[in-house]
A and B are shown apart, each in its own frame.
Chain A
């Protein structure tokens, strides 16, 4: 099929070379522009091969994050949909050792061929609607097409130098422009059936563009130093562009015209990189940069229909990005072996924060607040690896703290004083502010707002040694954070403090004589709050509807039936008699060891609930009843979306998209290895999801930080320490003078706020959003919070009492910036607002700080100077911490 004769197109030689910057042709008359053309590589993510020492990386533009793909350096990469699902994949040629692979949109790798290629191009050459690959396997194989990514067909026995995709005959179907080298020149494989000669001279490089904006592809061809750069307009006319041959070039849409009408031409070190467009004023050519680049890539990273350009300026300068033809930013300090514009899969990648503020933003979701140490660690090893590392961190136990404090207090008071609720909150704050396993602690806290117990009422009580059981409860939630939901559910059901709180400890079977029936409290709440919720849910968390109305998950009859299951469970004891049941005698560990079954108090009658029936038991069998009940709840399809969505709300955003909820609920249903209820899988799904990592913030994204989290972020960012090591914060639930929230002091089993709270007459309520944490953010509590912060800044925590000021932040790093208010504001931005502070707020903080006079330093006034600087820091922090920009986590 090879044509041996080619038409040779005559052309005149162009301008003679000169050693100075070449003179440029006059701009020709501008074409009238027409709407919409195509833009470059539609992928937004930048694939960067950083060589054998660093491996293959990609930068996700939407998530502002680096992804490590493979340890091996590559030969080339191209974007194509090879698994035929209309989602872009990345075809990567790893070289002869591995061959050609595709990184599919779902994150899986698929081998395309074990041979390596000289070049690969991708397009729908045969018009079938599916991408085809044209692969040049070199001698002795030749050029092949992988039609529709399924069938191999040889196109030519010869091998070629390079190839480019362009629609030469303007019939809407891409063709392949293939440069066979000096012997055969450049040919077009047109419409998947015809070879058409284009030129007998081989090129240094060829690219596709639309320089005249007429929606028909032009080619820009550099024929080498002898002939210079030419343009093949619309497959009809040749026109010279420049007499100087260039190292490389790319076509780009830098002006948002809708056409690839701008060229960036790299004339090598002598002349640097120039920009050319017919439409450029005042001159068609303008120098863009004096440096030559190792590689150029045109790619629209921010999806605004205006291309950005990535420049690899070599190892001395690294990789830079010119965004929207305007601003320059360095992307990476080292050079790459090659670059390509691709679309990364949205999951299963090991992502790294693009900037340290991405790291702090992640830690705001995953912990009680970012610290320098954690921020650095996330930047070093990436999000996924950090999470995995957190799963292995050693534990500190609240119970241990309570016990040691109890011993200390007793010794110090001669036996009068014992540990109580204060030691529970002390342990909570100690671990929240300084614990070595921040992810576990954060998730345990979130769980404590779902599986609620509280010391606020008499059932557990603040003063009692039952608070040892509350410490144990928090430890149990810590176990549950990284365990299995089924184990957690059972641990909750048997925890004695839960037994006290929801009154199923000591719950007795029905007594037909007196008419007494078992207490229904726990049975109701274990369904309503701890497992399945009130209405049937789809996997994406939306309610199922029948006739337009939600479908209840249970009836009062189910509650009554389930209540019988939770009878006969009582205080831990090795002797199961009335004395221990009623508590006249007690085992020393009863406040924290799981409840045990006292069969004589367990209901043996038939128990029917949720479509399940436990038949009447001849011998009471509480553990079987319990197992059946908990299994029934565990396997209910509601659990994934019900619990998953609430965890998303606690950590990331109050109004997740149904798709996000579905992804998390799916992870609950199956962790990938066939296991249901794997909390680690749920945590990964929540924190690594694009909706969590995506750094583009919309007006409805995010959540209010609840008061405990505002204070913890503040204290952690400033490295707060407790003088005594006991973190005696105490209760903080007063709204007028404190935080309106105290850990483990919820006013009811419904937590301090409801997941479905709709704020009245509010911007978010009107938009149909729920804003749970706003339920406790009102005119009195916000004022109380602001004053609390002000006093905490003045004196540390707690605000009053014998331990006043025990916990103090470290202001020294910020004090160094006290005389440069803008920098102070910017540092606070980085530490507390994840780099999201508006210019208005920065200015307000800087100006506010300036109203505080710092006296000129003299020999004797150091204390006054320091106090003034400290006040500046305090005031700046107060403004930052009470701003809505901080209070809202996004």
Chain B
């Protein structure tokens, strides 16, 4: 097993040569440097939407290699029985009465990437029918085996502790933080917020609407100047109503009281939240179109992948709100926005078959709903090529199973969707799925300690989108602390048009 102490010493030895992973340090650039490069005078609108899968999605069952050697190994590992987590091979019909969920779901859905990877063939999870359609229509791309890395890392380098590694691998909250900000929990700035810092100038007086979250508070959208604006799926909430309790100026009095200036630091911050809430709600009140203009309640219903029962897809609900805000873009005069939405429940240590299927169905449905909706937005029309949506997650999961689930992993596969995406292809070498076993002389170079060793760093994944978004080279190297450690030719993975 890898010795933590050795790794740290090695890391320290190399720290001077490489960007440090200290919280905040690499992202706290001099404010004088911001605004470099293009974007300050852009006339177009762009948005990036992060769909965060909280808990760590099992990528091994999300995108699969279906060529014979790959599938044989996969089936041996995960087994396709009623109680194990192996998925059915492509072409298998659904068996609604089967005892096991996997048989009910039927076979994995084949996808054919534009760029061949040897003789390998691929498919995605049976519940992701919409995603397959988007992939086929070249609206969605797959990025394979992404994960936090500081430098390109080979298996032997990992075991020899000869390169620095990201800290606290496999810890939920820390890995969520590292995906969002390249530092473990306690980090101050996320790359979404940092992009916002650089480009918020384009939004004029509407800076507050640069970084928006429909979900929980996360570091992703925190910047030097950026404060994430939190909004619920029903939009901004107005406090109070006219003539509350018989008081003619009730809402003004409430505003005065809740936003009062205080010297106590915690009180200051509490008042600041109220202030942002009240002021931004006023701005948005008139500008946001109604839900009915973006599909209303019907479009956000999805079918349960096994039972077919329709219910509200909470992820689609969040994306509906994002669509409404994007539709208000021209009215509000904002040009660059970073959104964060999330869906939880991915930590499938157990009952993975049912849970993951349901969750992936929601992701698939929601991303498709969003892509469709962006083509017919009220007021602004088709902005689908101006919005890029990507998935992210704490980590992938173990290649093996623990019975009816999987444990925490590292490398994972993700989807990027939008009109500006070079869809229909798989970016990055699809890893071998297997667990090395000295006893039988099998070694998987893509696997360490039963999890996938990422080949693509989060920096490269994110920087590809950030470049499209409008960041120049200098800014990219500032915002993505490890990007400079990767080959210049690979800093843009090429999945954006």
Name A residues whose Cβ lies closer than 8 Å to a Cβ of B: 457-459, 502-503, 506-508, 514-521, 524, 528, 534, 546-549, 551-552, 555-557, 559, 654, 697, 699-700, 702-704, 734-737, 747-748, 750, 754, 756-765, 767, 769-771, 774-784, 786-787, 790, 793-794, 838, 840-841, 844-845, 847-848, 851-853, 868, 871-872, 874-875, 878-879, 882-885, 887-888, 890
Do residues B217 and A775 form an inter-chain contact, with CB atoms below 8 A? yes
Give the residue of B231, B244, B264 whose beta carbon is less than 8 angstroms from that of A790. Answer: B244
Do residues A777 and B349 form an inter-chain contact, with CB atoms below 8 A? no
Given contacts A882-B258, A883-B258, 12 further A-B contacts (CB under 8 A): A458-B351, A459-B351, A516-B403, A517-B402, A519-B350, A547-B8, A704-B270, A736-B237, A747-B344, A756-B185, A844-B257, A879-B257
Do residues B257 and A763 form an inter-chain contact, with CB atoms below 8 A? no
Q: A514-B79, A704-B270, A783-B236 are in contact. Are A761 and B226 (CB under 8 A)?
A: yes
* A residues in contact with B267, CB < 8 Å: 884-885, 887-888
Residue of B nearest to A765 (CB): B188
Q: A519-B407, A549-B12, A875-B244 are in contact. Are A783 and B238 (CB under 8 A)?
A: yes
Per-position contact with A for B163-203: 1 when CB-CB < 8 Å, else 0? 00001111111100000000001111100010000000000
Which residues of chain B from 333 to 352 have a CB within 8 Å of any chain A CB?
Answer: 344-345, 347, 349-351
Name B residues whose Cβ lies closer than 8 Å to a Cβ of A: 1-2, 4, 8-9, 11-12, 54-55, 77, 79, 84, 167-174, 185-189, 193, 216-217, 219, 221-234, 236-240, 244-250, 253-254, 256-258, 260, 262-274, 276-278, 280-281, 344-345, 347, 349-351, 355, 398, 400-403, 405, 407-408, 435, 449-450
**Bound Cα distance A735, B402 (Å):** 36
**Bound Cα distance A758, B227 (Å):** 12
* B residues in contact with A702, CB < 8 Å: 264, 266
**Bound Cα distance A704, B223 (Å):** 23
**Bound Cα distance A754, B408 (Å):** 20
**Bound Cα distance A874, B225 (Å):** 38
Do residues B222 and A760 form an inter-chain contact, with CB atoms below 8 A? yes
Do residues B236 and A761 form an inter-chain contact, with CB atoms below 8 A? no
Can you sample 17 A-B contacts with CB below 8 Å?
A547-B12, A556-B170, A704-B266, A748-B347, A756-B186, A757-B217, A761-B222, A763-B269, A764-B265, A769-B265, A778-B273, A780-B232, A784-B232, A844-B256, A875-B245, A882-B254, A884-B264
Do residues B237 and A841 form an inter-chain contact, with CB atoms below 8 A? no
Residue among A528, A748, A780 with the highest chain B CB neighbour number at 10 A = A780
* B residues in contact with A736, CB < 8 Å: 232-234, 237
How far, in Å, is A848 (CB) from chain B's closest CB? 4
* A residues in contact with B223, CB < 8 Å: 760-761
**Bound Cα distance A780, B321 (Å):** 13
How far, in Å, is A498 (CB) from chain B's closest CB? 13
How far, in Å, is A764 (CB) from chain B's closest CB? 4
How far, in Å, is B194 (CB) from chain A's closest CB? 11
* A residues in contact with B228, CB < 8 Å: 760, 778
Do residues A883 and B277 form an inter-chain contact, with CB atoms below 8 A? no
Give the residue of A458, A517, A777, A890 whose beta carbon is less than 8 angstroms from that of B355. Answer: A458
Give the residue of A458, A551, A780, A887 whose beta carbon is less than 8 angstroms from that of B270. Answer: A887
* A residues in contact with B405, CB < 8 Å: 503, 519
Q: A520-B407, A778-B217 are in contact. Are A884 and B271 (CB under 8 A)?
A: yes
**Bound Cα distance A534, B226 (Å):** 29
* A residues in contact with B232, CB < 8 Å: 734-736, 780, 784
Q: A515-B77, A555-B2, A761-B225 are in contact. Are A884 and B258 (CB under 8 A)?
A: yes
3 A-B pairs with least C-beta separation: A760-B222, A736-B232, A778-B230
Residue of B nearest to A561 (CB): B1
**Bound Cα distance A793, B254 (Å):** 15
Do residues B270 and A760 form an inter-chain contact, with CB atoms below 8 A? no
**Bound Cα distance A776, B218 (Å):** 10
**Bound Cα distance A776, B230 (Å):** 10
* B residues in contact with A506, CB < 8 Å: 350
**Bound Cα distance A499, B151 (Å):** 39
Q: A552-B168, A775-B217, A778-B273 are in contact. Are A883 and B257 (CB under 8 A)?
A: yes
Q: A736-B237, A780-B230 are in contact. Are A888 and B247 (CB under 8 A)?
A: no
* A residues in contact with B240, CB < 8 Å: 786-787, 790
Give the residue of A556, A559, A699, A783 whose beta carbon is less than 8 angstroms from that of B263. Answer: A699
Q: A518-B402, A871-B245 are in contact. Are A779 and B226 (CB under 8 A)?
A: no
* B residues in contact with A514, CB < 8 Å: 79, 84
**Bound Cα distance A767, B55 (Å):** 31
How far, in Å, is B470 (CB) from chain A's closest CB? 22
Do residues B400 and A515 form an inter-chain contact, with CB atoms below 8 A? yes
Do residues B236 and A779 form an inter-chain contact, with CB atoms below 8 A? yes
* B residues in contact with A786, CB < 8 Å: 239-240, 254, 258, 274
Do residues A848 and B230 form an inter-chain contact, with CB atoms below 8 A? no
**Bound Cα distance A782, B280 (Å):** 13
Residue among A516, A697, A770, A874 with the highest chain B CB neighbour number at 10 A = A516
**Bound Cα distance A626, B71 (Å):** 39
**Bound Cα distance A734, B228 (Å):** 19
Give the residue of B171, B230, B262, B349 whose beta carbon is less than 8 angstroms from that of A534. Answer: B171
Do residues A771 and B189 form an inter-chain contact, with CB atoms below 8 A? no
**Bound Cα distance A771, B236 (Å):** 24
* B residues in contact with A458, CB < 8 Å: 345, 351, 355
* A residues in contact with B273, CB < 8 Å: 774, 777-779, 782
Do residues A779 and B229 form an inter-chain contact, with CB atoms below 8 A? yes
Q: A756-B185, A763-B265, A884-B258 are in contact. Are A555 and B12 (CB under 8 A)?
A: no
**Bound Cα distance A774, B270 (Å):** 8
**Bound Cα distance A725, B225 (Å):** 49
How far, in Å, is A509 (CB) from chain B's closest CB? 10
Do residues B402 and A520 form an inter-chain contact, with CB atoms below 8 A? yes
Give the residue of A521, A703, A750 whose beta carbon is less than 8 angstroms from that of B407. Answer: A521
* B residues in contact with A750, CB < 8 Å: 172-173
Give the residue of B173, B233, B247 whose beta carbon is less than 8 angstroms from that of A851. Answer: B247
**Bound Cα distance A520, B172 (Å):** 13
How far, in Å, is B200 (CB) from chain A's closest CB? 12
How far, in Å, is B286 (CB) from chain A's closest CB? 17
Do residues A852 and B9 form an inter-chain contact, with CB atoms below 8 A? no
Residue of B nearest to A703 (CB): B266
**Bound Cα distance A350, B79 (Å):** 66
* A residues in contact with B244, CB < 8 Å: 790, 875, 878
**Bound Cα distance A780, B250 (Å):** 20
* B residues in contact with A770, CB < 8 Å: 186
How far, in Å, is B231 (CB) from chain A's closest CB? 6
Do residues A759 and B276 form an inter-chain contact, with CB atoms below 8 A? no
* A residues in contact with B237, CB < 8 Å: 736-737, 780, 783-784, 787
* A residues in contact with B246, CB < 8 Å: 852-853, 868, 871, 875
Give the residue of A459, A502, A779, A851 whose beta carbon is less than 8 angstroms from that of B280. Answer: A779
Do residues A879 and B254 form an inter-chain contact, with CB atoms below 8 A? yes
Q: A514-B79, A780-B277, A782-B273 are in contact. Are A699 and B234 (CB under 8 A)?
A: no
How far, in Å, is A199 (CB) from chain B's closest CB? 55
Do residues B245 and A878 form an inter-chain contact, with CB atoms below 8 A? yes
* B residues in contact with A515, CB < 8 Å: 77, 400, 435
**Bound Cα distance A534, B193 (Å):** 26
How far, in Å, is B190 (CB) from chain A's closest CB? 8
* B residues in contact with A868, CB < 8 Å: 246
* B residues in contact with A519, CB < 8 Å: 349-350, 402-403, 405, 407
How far, in Å, is A364 (CB) from chain B's closest CB? 15
How far, in Å, is A656 (CB) from chain B's closest CB? 14
* A residues in contact with B77, CB < 8 Å: 515
* A residues in contact with B355, CB < 8 Å: 458
Do residues B239 and A787 form an inter-chain contact, with CB atoms below 8 A? yes
How far, in Å, is B441 (CB) from chain A's closest CB? 16
Q: A516-B401, A547-B12, A779-B276 are in contact. Are A699 and B265 (CB under 8 A)?
A: yes
How far, in Å, is A840 (CB) from chain B's closest CB? 6
* B residues in contact with A885, CB < 8 Å: 262, 267
* A residues in contact with B403, CB < 8 Å: 507-508, 516, 519
